[in-house]
Amino acid sequence: MGRLKITNVKAIVTAPAGINLVVVKVETSDPGLYGLGCATFTQRFLTVAEAVDEYMKPFLVGRDPSDIEDIWQTAMVSSYWRNGPVLNNAISGVDMALWDIQGKRAGMPVYQLLGGKCREAAAAYRHANGSTVEELEENVRRYMGEGYRFIRCQLGGYGGDKAVDGKQTKNPPPGAYYDPAVYARDVVDMFDYLRDKLGFEPELLHDVHERVPPILAVRMAKELEPHRLFFLEDPLAPEDVRWLETIRRQCSTPIAIGELFNNPHEWTMPMVHGHLDFIRVHISQIGGITPAKKLAALGETFAVRTAWHGPGDVSPVGHAANVHLDLACPNFGVQEWCGLDERLQEVFPGCPTVDNGYVYVSDAPGLGIDVDEQKAAQYPAENVLPRWTMTRTPDGSSVRP
C-alpha cells in the first residue's frame, strides 16, 4: 500500500443558522478518509473560500496529511506576508482537518492525540441579554435553571445599544450608534442590580467588545471590582494592550482578551508580564489547533487560562475543536457556548452536546463530527455586512466594534 496523500482540498460555505460559515474538507488517497476543519471568518467568508480553493489546494495536493507541523509552518510562510485573518483561517481549516484525519487513522479522538483528558467536559458560559435589567435577570435565571454557572450579561447588546436621539449631528451616516460614557455607567448599574438580586453564587461576565476608550476601560474595571466578575472581556482593542498594565495596577478585576488577535506577538508579552487572566482567541483566526495548543502551553507557564471564542460565527467543527482543546489543556478556564440549533445539528452530525452547563464531544475518532454536504447546500451564505460592525458615537465618528 502506497503512502497516504492529500488528493483534494475544498471549502464548504453554508449558513444553516443564518450566519456564514466556512468549513474545509481535506480528502485523501484512502477512499472515504477525509478531515474537516473550521475556517470561518464570517464577515469575509468569500475571501477565505477563495484562498482555500485557489491557494491551499494546489499547495497541499500530494502532501502526506501526517505532516501536520511542517504543513502548518510552510503554509504560514508560503505567501511571504502572513498573520492576517483571511490566510490564517484558510490555514486553520486545513490544520483542523489534518488533526481530524490523524485521529481517524489512529482510531482516537483528537483530545487523546493532544495528551488525553484533564477533565470529562468543558464548563460553558451562555449569553444573557435584555432591554431592561428585569428582563436580563429573567434570562440569567433561565440559564441558571439549565445548570449553567457561568453567564455573560449584556444590557441591550454591545455598547448598550442606547438610543442617542438628540445627540446626533445632521445627516448622520448609517451605523450602530451608542454613547460610550452612558454605556460605561449603565454596566456598573447593571451589576449593582444583578448582584443585589442574584448574590455572588453565579459567575457573571461582561463583554466590552473594545467599545470604550482605554482610560474609560480602566475606570470600568475599577468600578466593577466589588462585583467580582469571573472576567471582563475585551475591555481594550489589540492596538491598546499597553493599557492592560494600567488596569492591572489599579484593580483585581480579571481580564479576558484576544478575540481579535492574529499574531503571536499580540499575546506573548501580556502573558509574560501577567497583564491578563484569560486568553480569548478565535482558534481559526490564529491558524487552527496547532498554534492553539502552543498558546495554551504558554498560558499554563504564566497562569493564564483558556476561554476560546465560541460565538455563532464559529462552525460546529470549530466548536468541536475548541472542546477537544478544553479537555486536554490543564489551564482550561471556561468555554463560550452559543448553542447549536436543529439546522446546524442536521448539517453537522456529531455536534458537541450540553448537559447541566457542561459541553461534551463525541469519543469517535478525530474531531467526532461530520458534514452533510447536500444539506449544507440548502443553506446558502449571503454576502451582507452586519450592521453591528459599523459602530458610531453620537457625532458620527466610526469606532472599533
Q: Which of 111, 148, 158, 178 is catalytic?
A: 158
* β-pair type (278-279, 255-257): parallel
38 strand-pairing partners: 23
Burial 228-260 (b: 16+ CB within 10 A, else e): ebbbbbbbbbbeebebbebbbeebebbbbbbbb
Nearest to 386 by CA among 10, 45, 14: 45
Coil, strand or helix: which one is 8? Answer: strand
Query: Which grid cell is 131?
Result: 432591554
- 358 noted as active-site residue: no
CA distance 51 to 33: 23
Q: Which DSSP category does 173 fall into?
A: P
CA distance 249 to 252: 8
Residue 41 contacts residue 108 (beta carbons within 8 Å): no
CA distance 143 to 161: 23
Q: Which DSSP category does 399 fall into?
A: -
CA distance 387 to 399: 13
Q: Give me the DSSP letters along 204-270.
A: EEEE-TT-S-HHHHHHHHHHHGGG--SEEE--S-GGGGGGHHHHHHH----EEE-TT--SHHHHHHH
6 strand-pairing partners: 28
- 125 noted as active-site residue: no
Q: Which of 111, 127, 177, 209 is catalytic?
A: 209
Enumerate the active-site residues: 158, 209
